[in-house]
Structure 1
Amino acid sequence: MTNTALSSVSADVHSDESGGLPSASRPGSSPGFRDLGRLMALMTGDEKHGPAATSTLDALWVLYDRVLRVTPATADAPERDRFLLSKGHGPMAYYAVLAAKGFFPEEWLAGFGSYDSPLGHHPDRVLVPGVEIGSGSLGHGLPLAVGTALGLRAQGLTDPRVWVLIGDAELDEGSNHEAIAYAGPAGLEQLHTLVVDNASATHGWPGGIASRFEAAGWSAQTVDGRDHEALYAAFTAPHPGRPRAVVARVEPKNA
């Protein structure tokens, strides 16, 4: 893991899209971002998908530390923000962040992937506190996020935001393009998609990934996926009447 990926961030800044529930951040809370490397090191064994995990580390931390309005105490509250990890085949960073934020004990991490551990190689929503979906099969998360946003709209819940993290290679799956094409014209303002781009897609997109979302009526921006301030600014930028996509570029998977 690079020093850049372990740069420190302030833990007491809150989103300018604030609402009724508090952020997971707490002044003086512990552990912090610099502890994530230690927490990830507790998870050993085969099939760790290390690059898939570390590519998401900074973006996940900024979301959970400064943006998402969900805590262990509000993990089942109707007004909570929903975070869906579509890139579930690389959950180590996700587990480390959840443990750091108190969703489950650090001691669980050492059992990662073992027979009797709740922390499987793909997250399981019925086993891991704070996990919204079972994931890992590419192409499912964004359609599920669209459905979640529609469900909140149908219930009249306009404050909760829906976030989904996908990998750039997931855009090789047609189901994502159907979801992108639907969400823009539907005006799903509550929907936010974070694309972690580590140059692992087979096909790519002319003009860049952000242009694909913009063509479908989304608000979209590309940022350095290791720059916490750039990520925070992109995550909290206003986008009235439109879903939001943030493309976080990190080092290439095979670099």
Structure 2
Amino acid sequence: MVALGQRFDSGFGELEAHYGMARLSGSGGNAMSRAGDNGLTGGYSQFFGLSHHLSLGDNLGWHNSLRYDRHQLDSRRDIRFEGVRNSARSDVHIQQLALRSEGAKTLKLGDNLHVKPFAGVALRHQMTGGMQERGAGDFNLSMQRYTETAVDAVTGLHLNWSGDRGWGAQAVLEAGPNLAFSRQGRTASLAGASGQQFRVEDGKRGGGVNSQATAGAHYRQGSLDIGANAFHWREDGAQDKGFLLNLTHHF
């Protein structure tokens, strides 16, 4: 992924804008031996974000953010059924919009360690376009477009440690209940069963507790910053974990 960001002083707090693009690749198929397998063969992702931070005095702050993501995903599904050996290919567009507002207070624990508890609310909306498989005859799957909307309460803790000679470490712990969850659509049909429709379930459910945790370290020398982060998140019953390596140039 390549991303650009710029900060501005608006006279009423600090504004920050971000744009990024990532090229995606994968092996396709549906081999369950691959962690996180979803049949992805390629595609790209883009995001655009705006954030606003207002200092309220006494180390209090109010932070608002808006982010739009657009994904184009290409995938392949292998079909092995009673002598049938086929592969179905498809592409789908996903759009996501997230709005978040939170208040926080920064606490200084010594010269190098800052702890910032926060609490707020987040709104999520996702639109997934229709999908039509090709290449597998009667086994081609057709899925209608569908939407998901959720509202979450969020509370957590930011920790930031600044060491000597450019070293630093950071961590974020966050959790909160899902306050509302709705889904519309998500029905599908097979080419070989004309007129028959069925619902597609992915196990996502509202009403639970969502959470995320990240921890990492970085080193900065002049305008160059190198960092590594591990993460784990859980949202509406789905979860993921991974590792990120970041290279940032400040100018």
TM-score after normalising by structure 2: 0.25
Structure showing greater Rg: 2
TM-score by length of 1: 0.25
Higher helix share: 1
